[in-house]
Each structure stands twice: as structure tokens, then as C-alpha cells.
Structure 1
Amino acid sequence: MMRVGKTRWSVAAAALAALLLGCAAPGTGGDDVQAAPTSTSASPSAVAEPAAPQADAPPNHADNNGWKRRHELSAADQRTGQKLAARIRPKLEALRAAGDFAPASTQRVLLDLGITAEAVEVTAMRTPIHQDTPPPGAVYAVRFADVGCVIGDVRPDRVMVEVTGSAAEFGCLEPFSH
């Protein structure tokens, strides 16, 4: 009976030793073990802080969304975009005030400003998930100076006008992806 107890103890000790050696840092197992100096005073240890990930962002978020990056606008391009936006906003505000949110009407207003058809893109609002019809409104983009965009939308509750750079992958209007 005594022998069984010693065997259990030996097996438990061997398992614990294997576990400790298996969990040791590389280079500290087997013949690599070195005696550490002993000290009675506590010494502060330097522990490297892991780099904090961006809040709620996966590790490759920036790489995965690189296709969305827009060109930086120069000061001159920004001024050009602001002047264009200042011409666009009152026309779209008048359209909204008239209760006309049709994409065709938005496109007509932009073309009536003398903007070329190749520089204008207008679409209907996206249909929300679990709905059959899109909400009233139009999304638009006007490309200027080969690097800039005036983008926005016309809805019953607002007119949005924003000056931004274009993206190499898609131009002015980001494609719907979900």
C-alpha cells in the first residue's frame, strides 16, 4: 500500500516537472538552466507593455480598408472644391424645399450648373436592410481637378455637401459593400 502512494507521488512530481519545463521560456529548459542570484529585497521588474490596439478595430483594419483612402487635397484644390460646393448647395436646397428628392432631378440640377456629365454621378439612396424600398433621396458626387470630389445627399430632412479627395480604387462614391 505504501508503494502505491510513493508511485502516485512520483508520477505527480514528474508531471509537475514536465509541466513546468514545458511552460518555461525558450532557452531555459534542460541543460540551459542557470542559477539566478537570490536577493532579499524586491526589485522592480521591467515588463514591456503590449501595443494597445485601436478601440474595437481588428489588427489589420487599416490594411483591409486601404482601398477607401482618399487623396489629400492641396490648399488650392480645397479652395476649388469649396467654391464648387458653394455653387451646388443652394441649388440642392431649392430642390429639397420643393420636395423633389428624385435622383434624376438631382442630376439635372448639377448638369444645369454647367458641370459635365462625366464628372457627375447620382444614385438613389440605399435600401436599408429588412426594407423593400429605399428612403426618399439621392446620393451624388461631382469630381473636380482629377483629385477632388464634392459628395453628399439630398433628403427630406437635409442637404449634405462635403469636399473630399477622390479614392484611387473607386473615385468619388464609395461602393456599397454590405
Structure 2
Amino acid sequence: MLALVALGCAAPGTRDGDSAPLPSASVSAPTEKQVVAEPAGPGDAPPNHADNNGWKQRHELTADEQRTGDRLAGRIRPKLAALRKAGDFAPASTRQALLDLGIRADSVEVTAMRPAIGEETPSPGAVYAVRFPDAGCIVGDVRPDRLLVEVTGAAAEFGCLEPFSH
């Protein structure tokens, strides 16, 4: 019985009575080694994630711009630390503290904290940005649990503060 099953499963041209010969299985050896590179997968991001987020790319600061930003951040930090210590997290107070440092009004942007996802009321605090020549920003926030002062480059599309989006 096993012999009948084996004969019945043989490839065409291998059993008695098959009239067509098997096709030639000659394979020519490749002249060059072919390497097929598999593209790296996007991981958890969609395939065009980098293109879609290119507008967020910030200017890379030169050494001089970084030093300028660090000096300005050194002036900003104590002023905002005093606000935080006093428990004053109002955006208007944050803006005024930055203006009191002699920073031009058109270089300062301050907004209130946004509510967390699923929350209706934002936590106390202010988000701020100070633009400095030519392409730098001091960005951060003042809130009960922290003071953030970060030197970074400006983005061509939006400047210092990234617009809110979901």
C-alpha cells in the first residue's frame, strides 16, 4: 500500500508511462554575488513618519549660538526659579519675569499648560519660549513639580514653541 502511495505522489515524468521528459534543471552560477538588502521596518511608526514630522526639525546650534543660549538660560533660570518658589505659575507672571530681564516682547511667547488627555482642567503652570539671534530658543515650563530651561534651535516651520496637535 505504501508503494502505491509513493508512486502516486511521484513528480511527473518519474513514473513509468509518462511521455513528457522532466524539464532541465540546469542552473547557471551567478557571476556576481547578489546581496539583497531588506529595508528596515518602520517599527511602531508608519512608513512615512520621518517625512510627516520633518517640519519639527530644529536648527542645529553652532558653538557660538550654544554659548549665547547658555548665557541667556543662566539669566532666565533664577528669575523663573523665584516664581516657582513663590508658587506663582501664572503665564502672565512668567511673561513679566522674562520681560523684566530686558528680553524684547516680540521674542517671548508664553502659554498656559494644556490639560492632560482625558482631563478638563490643566495643571498649574506656564510654557514659555524665548527666541535669541539668529536661530536659537530657550524653551521650558514653570510648574509646581519642576522648572525646565532648555537651549535648543528654532524650527523653520514654527520657531520655538511647537504648535499643539493631537
Q: What is the TM-score when the length of structure 2 is the normalising length?
A: 0.79
The equivalent position to 1:94 in structure 2, one of 72, 79, 82, is: 82
Tell me how many residue pairs correspond in the alignment: 140
The equivalent position to 1:70 in structure 2, one of 58, 67, 86, is: 58
| Counterpart secondary structure, 1:163 | strand
**Matched ranges for 1:42-53 at <5 A:** 48-53=36-41
1:140 and 2:128 are equivalent in the alignment: yes
**Matched ranges for 1:1-178 at <5 A:** 35-37=24-26, 48-178=36-166
| Counterpart secondary structure, 2:61 | coil
Q: What is the TM-score when the length of structure 1 is the normalising length?
A: 0.74
Question: 1: CA distance between counterparts of 2:37 and 2:90?
Answer: 55
Deviation at 1:68, TM superposition (A): 0.5
Deviation at 1:46, TM superposition (A): 6.1
Aligned to 1:15: none
Question: 2: CA distance between counterparts of 1:172 and 1:35?
Answer: 68
- Unpaired segments ≥5 residues, structure 1: 1-33, 39-44
Question: 2: CA distance between counterparts of 1:112 and 1:35?
Answer: 88
What amino acid is aligned across from residue 82 of structure 1 in structure 2? D
Question: 1: CA distance between counterparts of 2:35 and 2:65?
Answer: 48
Deviation at 1:177, TM superposition (A): 0.8
Identical positions, percent: 71
Deviation at 1:47, TM superposition (A): 6.3
| Counterpart secondary structure, 1:151 | strand
| Deviant stretches of 4+, over 2 Å | 45-49
Q: 1:47 to 1:36 in 2, by over 3 A?
A: farther
Deviation at 1:51, TM superposition (A): 1.6
| Counterpart secondary structure, 2:118 | coil
Deviation at 1:159, TM superposition (A): 0.2
Q: CA RMSD in A?
A: 1.9
